[in-house]
Amino acid sequence: MKFRVVEIDNQLTAIFNSKSPLRNSLLSQFLVPSTEFVCNILYDISGVEIGIHSSYAFENPTVYIELFKDHITIEPYIEEHETEVPQIEIPVDSAKLLLFKWGVALQRWQMKQKKLGI
């Protein structure tokens, strides 16, 4: 999953260009611009992979994420009364690689900000 990084309102955003607008949007919303987020979700994924949890779910302000041993699902955070929720599924290995790449992008950006004195 390739993405490009853009700065919007002094925060990094990942922009995806797959054929699916839903996938692009959900992946962008999944990648919160926080290195703590990256560490925490990788930790949670490892807990599921080694069997501490059979699955694990959490949400950020825009998406609901569920972690399973072999995949993760991402769906928009919506009101409870809505019944049909679109979601995407990503193999866990692809999700980990995506998170590592995102973490590196965030760290590079933070180092650049420090160097510029921002």
Write out pLDDT tens, residues 33-59. Answer: 998 999 999 999 999 999 999 999 988
pLDDT confidence of residue 82? 61
Locate the domains of the chain by residue range: 3-110
pLDDT confidence of residue 10? 86
Give the CATH number of domain 3-110. Answer: 2.30.31
Q: b vs e for 7-43, b when ≥16 Cβ sit within 10 Å of the residue's Cβ?
A: eeeeebebebeeeeeebbbbbbbbbbbeeebbeebee
Q: What pTM did the predictor assign?
A: 0.88
